[in-house]
Structure 1
């Protein structure tokens, strides 16, 4: 039976929610204890963002953490709660970077953990379903993935393009070096001739 790329998102959430149900972990994170009100800060709030543990973002976060730390998802539930409560879906990009020792992730070569490289937000309807105009692709489109920002995952194409650029740079450097060597030779010859005349 053929499956589409979007089937993996439902499979991911189904697998994680099934494990949570088996472990007896509720699918909605409990609210954190209220913070003490600070009378010196009138704008302070103790509102906590609710965390849905059956969302694709949460399932992705807990899976990334469990895979990185080689533990079960039950050990990473609170970390995934904190991440989504603090940073939301965009926090997955920060988590991905943190798991790679703080290095910037180039999503042209690394598959996005949230959208799996399709470049669109899997929780939003696709452009085809909504009927978006083709020119919207270049005008800050709303359907782009919040993690990879719509970078195309095409390592074969980008690697070939970068190799072509590097070959051109190398050819330019060799040509420039030869020109410099030729100029040095001519200057040396000219200076030696002048030295012989005087």
Structure 2
């Protein structure tokens, strides 16, 4: 039986197999050093290494390839740049950008990183993430850094939204009827025929 966590492993395996077959290394080369900025002498020139065998990178390159209808190898530099600049949280920005800048409601759209489970799919520990000591106890969940733990249940949230829309529509109809009645009374007063003498 295939579990959700098996999907993550399969995604990584598929992408790394394609990269290996194309001769693309699984670690991104370091970016060229930036020219020193004379206005900011404390600027860091530290380059964040990008591991192409992680779930985040595999998700980013797959999202880009699917969106642009290209092969994975064409999107390698873009995925490198995204994770180097924004890290895992950059996947949420990428997802929004691919939807033409519209915010993504993860209650209706399955999160591309955690596949809708709402937790960090890498199963990292508090020590790995650096949680404060007071949070390092049983039951402390690590929510997904992309969807921030939104509960993917479109069938439940759709009913709730339909009920809200029905309430709004009923209120609008009632207001419209009230306004129509008021408009009629004003019209009749303005258009009363004055008696002719």
TM-score for the superposition, normalised by structure 1: 0.83
Structure 1: where are the runs of 5+ without partners? 134-141
Q: What is the deviation of 1:181?
A: 3.5
* Separation in structure 1 between the aligned mates of residue 87 and residue 5 of structure 2, nearest angstrom: 21
TM-score for the superposition, normalised by structure 2: 0.83
Partner of 2:123 in structure 1? 124
Q: What is the deviation of 1:27?
A: 0.8
Residues 56-75 of structure 1 correspond to what in structure 2 (within 5 A)? 56-75=55-74
Q: Which has the higher mean CA deviation after the structures are superposed, 153-162 or 30-39?
A: 30-39
Residues 76-95 of structure 1 correspond to what in structure 2 (within 5 A)? 76-95=75-94
Q: What is the deviation of 1:38?
A: 3.2
CA 1:177/1:38 → structure 2, altered by over 3 Å: closer, same or farther? Answer: closer
* Separation in structure 2 between the aligned mates of residue 187 and residue 106 of structure 1, nearest angstrom: 45
Secondary structure of the 1:17 match is: helix
Matched residue count: 185
Q: What is the deviation of 1:147?
A: 0.8
Q: What is the deviation of 1:191?
A: 7.8
* Separation in structure 1 between the aligned mates of residue 189 and residue 34 of structure 2, nearest angstrom: 82
Partner of 1:138 in structure 2? none
Q: What is the deviation of 1:33?
A: 1.6
Structure 2: where are the runs of 5+ without partners? 126-136
